Amino acid sequence: MRDICADFEAELVEFNGEDNHVHLLVNFPPKVAVARLVNSLKGVSSRRLRQEFPDLVHHYYQANKLCSGSYFAGSAGGAPLNLVKQYIEQQNRPG
């Protein structure tokens, strides 16, 4: 995730999640389209997960994808970053 963010001149500040989703706090420049960044993060992570865990292919064969097409992106410009980081840290790590 950090390498992908770096490709977009962005910084992965925090990363955590649950079994079926992840939370990322990313600091990125205004010239970066959030949809392009998210699609790259989802596409590369899906490809790497399928390479590392081949059984995932069989589990998700019918859908033929690991990630849904949807995502939520919110701005944390007004919230103190330590509160956003604390929220992400309190999520369960994916299994």
Residue 34 belongs to some domain of the structure: yes
Q: Is the pLDDT of residue 13 over 70?
A: yes
Residue 66 belongs to some domain of the structure: yes
Contacts 24+ apart (CB under 8 A), 29-34: 32/8, 34/73
Q: Check residues 94 and 8 and name the one with the higher pLDDT.
A: 8
pLDDT, one tens digit per residue, over 51-74 is 888 777 766 655 566 777 788 888
Other CB atoms closer than 10 Å to residue 4's CB: what's the count?
Answer: 17
Which CATH number is 76's domain given?
3.30.70.1290
- Whole-angstrom CA distances from 27 to 2, 51, 80 are 11, 28, 13
- The encoded tokens of residue 88 equal 């992400």
Contact 1, 15 (CB under 8 A): yes
The pLDDT confidence band at residue 88, using thresholds 50, 70 and 90, is: confident
Give the chain's domain count.
1
Predicted TM-score (pTM) of the model is 0.73
Residue 21 is part of which domain span?
A: 1-90
Q: What is the pLDDT of residue 79?
A: 74
Residue 95 belongs to some domain of the structure: no
Query: How far is the C-alpha of 57 from the C-alpha of 76, rounded, in Å?
Result: 35
Query: How far is the C-alpha of 29 from the C-alpha of 8, rounded, in Å?
Result: 8
